Amino acid sequence: MIKKRITVTGGAGFLGQYVVEAFAARGHDVFVPKHADFDLTREADVHRMYDDGRPEIVIHLAAVVGGLGANVANPAKFLYDNLLMGLYLIEQARQRGVAKFVTVGTICEYPKVTPVPFREEALWDGYPDEATAPYGIAKKTILVQGQVYRQQYGFDAIHLLPVNLYGPRDNVDPKTSHVVPALIRKCVEAIDRGDRHVVCWGDGSATREFLYVADCADAIVLATERYSCADPVNLGSGREVSMRELITLISELVGFTGEIVWDTTMPNGQPRRCLDTRRAAERFGFRATTDFREGLARTIEWYRRSRP
């Protein structure tokens, strides 16, 4: 792909930083709209963003996101803000002749009970898990928007479905962080305080799949360069990990030897998550390369080095 003007919404965020670096390393002119300057839930700000960035390609990563607790506490905001951003950004891109629009969705779009491994064809086979449904439905609506815009206007929109991401520079705020950084922080702080146990939500039976953030950025670049189709595409590692296995591995890597206590009054979330990743391999040649244990070790090292 020759040099392009690329706007990355959410480019200052966790995944966004890696995506910006990946495109810049390939020689592209990357514009990152700052949240302080552009509220993408406001149509006037979206207009200004397009005027300033003049993109040929848009990578839409900006989102109101968080872990299970944040989703449960803010369902209306997660639905409303994420939906507005997608609707305004795609419509303005169409009007301005943007050549390609890449939306990055969420594994929360899948039905609560989906046969493992999740195949993209199963997206419409049921309602998402109640705890994260508002966020998932907002992103699913943006998928449909891209598909019907392709159908009616010939607009080149693609939709990618990454699993849970992890890696250095992740959000470690206990109110909004996802499970890997939350558990790393919990275990490290337990060691610092001399605690004899840590408490985890649910019963440990729920499973998740994790993708190293730099691998995900590579997948987004490959899809931008090589993929133009209405079909959504899973991005994952293909490795299913239970919450019990996850906390055991993190405890081992950080050196926490206390007890793990499961608070079964709190939700597990979706029972199982693991993706069929063949479509990404077949359509644009993506396969995850980072070993899970090695990725966790890098993340823990970064957290210990960067925390106050």
Question: Cα-flanking dihedrals φ and ψ of residue 17, to 5°?
Answer: -60, -40
Domain count, the chain: 1
Mean pLDDT score of the chain = 95
- 132 in a domain, yes or no? yes
Fill in the amino acid letter for 208.
R
How much is the pTM? 0.93
Query: Within 26-132, where are the H helices?
Result: 43-53, 68-73, 75-95
Look up residue 59 and give its two tokens: 């990578």
Known catalytic residue at 135: yes
Question: Can you give the CATH number for the domain in which 87 is found?
Answer: 3.40.50.720
- 48 in a domain, yes or no? yes
What whole-number percentage of the chain has pLDDT above 70? 100
Q: Is 93 helix (H, G, I), strand (E, B) or coil?
A: helix
- 89 in a domain, yes or no? yes
pLDDT category at 267 given cuts 50, 70, 90 is confident
- 84 in a domain, yes or no? yes
Are the C-beta atoms of residues 216 and 15 closer than 8 Å to each other? yes
Question: Measured between alpha carbons, how far is 235 from 223 in angstroms, rounded to an integer?
Answer: 10
- The predicted-structure confidence for 94-141, as pLDDT tens digits, reads as follows 999 999 999 999 999 999 989 999 999 999 999 999 989 999 999 999
For the chain, the residue count is: 308
- 139 in a domain, yes or no? yes
Residue 191 neighbours by CB distance under 10 Å:
15
- Domain of 134 in residue numbering reads as 5-166+210-238+274-290
Catalytic residue among 50, 135, 212, 227: 135
Task: For strands 207-212 and 233-235, give the pairing.
Answer: unpaired
Question: Measured between alpha carbons, how far is 23 from 1 in angstroms, rounded to an integer?
Answer: 11
- 18 in a domain, yes or no? yes
- 47 in a domain, yes or no? yes
- 92 in a domain, yes or no? yes
Torsion angle of the four alpha carbons 158, 67, 273, 15, in this order, in degrees rounded to the nearest 10: 40
Are the C-beta atoms of residues 292 and 241 closer than 8 Å to each other? yes
